[in-house]
Amino acid sequence: MTLELMAGDQSMLQGEHGPAVAAAMKILVAFSKAVGARKLLDIAGAHIDGCLYHGQAGFDFVERLVEGGGSVRVPTTLNVGSFDLIHPGLVKMPAAEEVPARRLMKAHLELGCQATFTCAPYQTRFRPAFGEQIAWGESNAIVFANSVIGARTNRYGDFIDLCCAMTGRAPAWGLHLSENRRGQILFELTGSFEPTDALFVGVGLIIGQASRDRIPVISGLPQPRDEDQLKALGAAAATTGAVALFHAVGITPEAKTLDEAFRGKAPEETIRISRADIDHALARLSSVPDGAPLVAVSLGTPHFSHHEWMRLLPMLRHIAPGRGIPIYVNTGRATLTRLKDEGELESVKAFNLIPVTDTCTYVTTIIERLDGVVMTNSGKWAHYAPGNIGVSVAFGEMEDCIRSAAVGHVVRGAP
């Protein structure tokens, strides 16, 4: 199988757009051959998961592109880094680590990437449209773009996302192509379910674990209250598994009917999900029982949307937690700016609310006390935080998190 390059690809490869673009194209070509793509296609945008420091190689790669005088050729957003540039002092990091962490974020800006520093680029003005070809890194963003929006990306990451951005091209393979977006495994919810936040997390955890490399289709899911519930489902599925695309019948844009989701073919396997399965999956997220004393609450993984803030703020004012338990909310800097402009944060200052931007409370050292239980409404945070930062976790609905902060220990099943 040979890779056919267009004249524009050839000219990039031959250095007519400078050494950085040539390097990116060279790597992209090698990668495209390695995955058996026959040609490259144009992308409308990229999202780069390259700002977390994972070692010298990642650092050297970006610096080499900066030295080559390159910049991205399509609108390109950035995922979180290890630093909150808007709230200096929030992240506690030794100077030896802070220097490369800050440099990595800055180097990407020098390449022309947008200073979004969010894991939810779909909440920004760079949100792609249905059917658009994009090259995105960050597992929750990938599954959201493919499933909820119907844009098209593979699971890019580490180096290749940036090569696509620098060239405006991606290999024509995998989920970029219609024939590879067909559902393969059916998950049937049996019984009737209320559209609680926890339900969507639970379904995500289950399909992530059981889908392996097959594209899951979910039937029987109640209409979500908002897209944040689908965000939570996708993030959970991409946490327990490698799901890059799911279809929810009657909900997501490529699955108006079961038949459309499977493109008229039969599912390879059908798995039924009961209320007990959901409860079981959710129970595994919590390592402590109700009543355990809390040290913090963490919300907003993936980053809290403006809509989620609009749900949280009245809850805060109503419940008025005042026990000094910090409530961290990870959110995009653009979302926070909008909230500040709207004056929404003034009335909740007394409630130990700590907005975090540009990063996330489970990838870096923000939370003051790690010696106790942190409560979250995020399946993804609950899964990764114990390993990443060594905390115990209690999972619950957003309102349970705020009520727990008010009483100082874990309470669930708030009215």
Partner 1 sequence: MSEQASRALKGRALNRVGSFQLAGEAQGSALVLSQALSFWGGLDIETGDIIDRSHPGLGQNVAAKILVMASGRGSSSSSSVLAEAIRRGTAPAGIILQRPDPILAVGAIVAEFLYDVSMPLVVCDISGIVSGDRIAIGLGEDAQAIVSRIQPAIGPAAPRRQ
H or E segment at 34?
helix 19-34
d(CA 300, CA 15): 43
Min. distance of Cβ 30 from partner 1 in angstroms? 4
Q: How far is the CB of 33 from partner 1 (least distance, A)?
A: 8
Nearer to partner 1, 55 or 343 (CB): 55
Closer to partner 1 by CB, 156 or 309: give it.
156
Q: How far is the CB of 286 from partner 1 (least distance, A)?
A: 22
Minimum CB distance to partner 1, residue 162 (Å)? 10
Positions touching partner 1 (CB under 8 A) are 23, 26-27, 30-31, 33-36, 49, 54-58, 60-61, 64, 137, 139, 155-160
Return the number of the residue (137 or 321) whose C-beta is nearest partner 1: 137
Maximum C-alpha span of the chain:
66
Q: By C-beta, is 64 or 265 nearer to partner 1?
A: 64
Contact 176, 38 (CB under 8 A): no
Amino acid identity of residue 92, one-letter, is K
Q: Is residue 402 within 8 Å of residue 282, measured between CB atoms?
A: no
CA distance to 205, 239, 252, 285, 384, per residue, from 236 (Å): 5, 5, 17, 11, 11
Minimal distance, residue 236 CB to partner 1, in Å: 16
Distance in angstroms (rounded) separating the CA atoms of residues 125 and 7 = 32
80 CB neighbour count, 10 Å cutoff: 28
Looking at the Cβ atoms of 155 and 247, the one nearer to partner 1 is 155
Distance CA(134)–CA(65), nearest Å, equals 21
Between 26 and 275, CB nearer to partner 1: 26
Contact 49, 139 (CB under 8 A): no
Burial of residue 287, with CB atoms counted within 10 A of its CB: 0-12 exposed, 13-18 middle, 19 or more buried: middle
Which residue lies nearer to partner 1 by CB, 238 or 285? 238
Closest distance to partner 1 from the beta carbon of 337 (Å): 30
